[in-house]
A and B are shown apart, each in its own frame.
Chain A
Amino acid sequence: MAKTFGSFSAFSKPPKKQKFGIEPIKSEFGGSEPDSIYTINRESSWSRWRRGFEIATASLAHNTIDYPFTYKIPLPAGASPASGNQPAIPGVFRGFPTKNKELSCHWAGVRVAGSLRFDNVLDASNVRASIASITEDKEFWYIQLAGTWSSSNTLPAPLFIPIAGTDGIKPTNGEVIEDRIITPEGVPINRDSINPNTQKRYGFVQAVVADVNQNTGVIKLRKRGSVEATPDRILVTPATRPPNVGRYFMTGTRYYCSCQDYTRRDYAYISSLGQTKGKKFPLTRVASLKPGRYEVLKIGDKVSNQAMTSAVVNRKMQIISPSADFNVPPSVAPTTQTIPGSTRDNPGVYSDFGSVYIRSGSDPSLPGAKSDGIPSYEDYTAKDNVITSLTDFWEPVLDEFRYCKHIYSMKFEEGLFPAEPSDFPVGVGSMVDWEQKLVAKTEKDQKEAVEKLLATGLSYMDIPPFNCQSPMMVTMMQKLFNIPSNFVLLQNFTMYDKTGKAYTPSQGGTPAL
């Protein structure tokens, strides 16, 4: 094992080479098998899972940086004002002290479970969309929702939004849903809730929405990665039974993180404050370049990249997303002028396209499944060198989507104890030594990050909700709330201080402590 511990990649440094020995190629996709293993070790989901547990314990030991909030969803212009209880999203921002972040904190977001309820999904006759019946195959459950659905009476938004000339969009694909509502407008059950008729615990099932059929009212749930709360109060994955007929779905906890690991964006230091060797400009190795969209934030016509604004100033996000196909234009003018839409590459912003890690074949715990093999990356499908579909949408429950260590830490705190990823690092001498050093490094990093935050960071860190439209945060907010980014308005945040007192920053409110 390497003696030094300067970087995370040092966990799996090869033994010192003899003079004139063969040096492995150090590029990311260099073709050297040993080096590929080093990369897999550093990039493994298992490392994030293990470090997440250390961060979870560190959060319990320290006073966590939590910013609870309620976000009042703005209605579209022209819509009638909402009466009674206002449509709102409750959640919490969690700051993770981080050594290599310019402003000392990575911010993650949580939309708490129960925010969206299917007892409020109605068909044209105001029939509530309970679970009417279920069929299944090896990979999916097919949930027939109650109500009358057809091509002229489709599932309502946000399950399906028709857009003229297109197939429409389905923003709820990728949401975690749970069958925890027994009666309309009732209180969601938990793991301890007991059915008075049977004197046994109700139990429930959690799964990810893979797709919806707007014309038939069928929701397709993915079995792989599903979680079941059993009558014994135990959480098992994958679930051994489908959701319960007659109940109503609600959304589970939704996470998103602004760290560069989760968003797959390169990071750079813009200021020289508090750092000595950070990059001044984001760099992407050519081998890592992938196509992708990028965003520009503006106030009026001017680009605005500052971390925070006043709570009454809103920015607009412009998404630069060239055409969906990857083909360059059939002809390029001799002027060599860049043609907008001719490429989706954006050097210096994206380092990868999503890194969806999935097991090969079906889930090993299901009958007839194959054993684990080499991970396959299925960001897209292609035929005859033409990309036919992009499938890098968010799947929050699953280890298919590679969580960052911050989200893993919050899942540990949630009590889900996320399943151990199967890509345990390989190719090093002693696994025990490797894990102990990983834990020691994480602990040391946490300690130093907190010290740095307390020493210098508090004076210039960015805090919610003032940073919610910064370039790092605005995409997180859009994914976290699952609404269009222009519906994320700073004045609609109500925050809660450590005493539980509510205050509204846009009205000059401040925390009591």
Chain B
Amino acid sequence: MGKKRAWIFFLLPSFAGTLLFVICPFADVVRRSFLTAITGRFVGLKNYRTIFGNAAFRTAMKNTFLFTAFCIPLLVAMGLLIALALSQTEHLRLIKSLYLFPMAMPTAAIAIVWKMLFYKQGFFNKYLAAFFPGGNPESLGDPVDYLGTGAAFFLLAATYIWKNLGYTIVLWLAGIMGINGEMLEAAKVDGAGKAQRLIYILLPSLKSSMYTIVVLSFLNSFKIYREAYLVAGPYPHESIYMLQHLFNNWFVNLDLDKMAAAAVVCGAVFLAGILLLQRAWKVS
């Protein structure tokens, strides 16, 4: 095979599989989103109207949005702070490994620990009661089942940050290490202070790292479903009922027409988000 054609042989198996397993069936889902599930009759936008009128869908959309909007900036900022501090220490490798470790822990293997921490009779409540005797009568007399209250949202957010902080730090560190040291040195000689160097040199050079980190954090934010599902089941407290739960429950109930419309809506939102981020990042 010549140079001109060789790529076809390398790419074809993968591309054919992608077409077969994702692209073509997704096109079929788009078509189905305009049909009824059982009879296959064309109903126009009815499925879309149904899901937007559906309280569960709206809650799930809202929660997913809130979770993302709350967690990702927090994760990105925490990662940056830790990476900046880490880049000035000597035992970088060891500390980095410890932060990365949670990423390697299979969710299922530590589900039991989460339960021990967060259940009504768990450590979380225990220490809360011990540290604030009287201050929190609720948890003193009758322990609160945090997973059954709005606090579940924050527990899940903390779990997400626990799991994802490590790779965020690795990505920031890679960006920090790639920065031109001479430029920083020159700025120092010219009398730029620490804060100035951070704002005018470090942060602008880290822009492309930022794009990556945001996109990956977003992708991984959907995997928090594993923890949520394992600890709180398919119908958790309303504050952590997210799109992942909804899709799963619709799937179990075979609400395929609703699922089709929701998949198209979510797919479109993600696609727009990814492309927008990509554009914003390329322009700068």
A binds B: no
Q: What residues of chain A have their CB less than 8 Å away from a CB belonging to chain B?
A: none
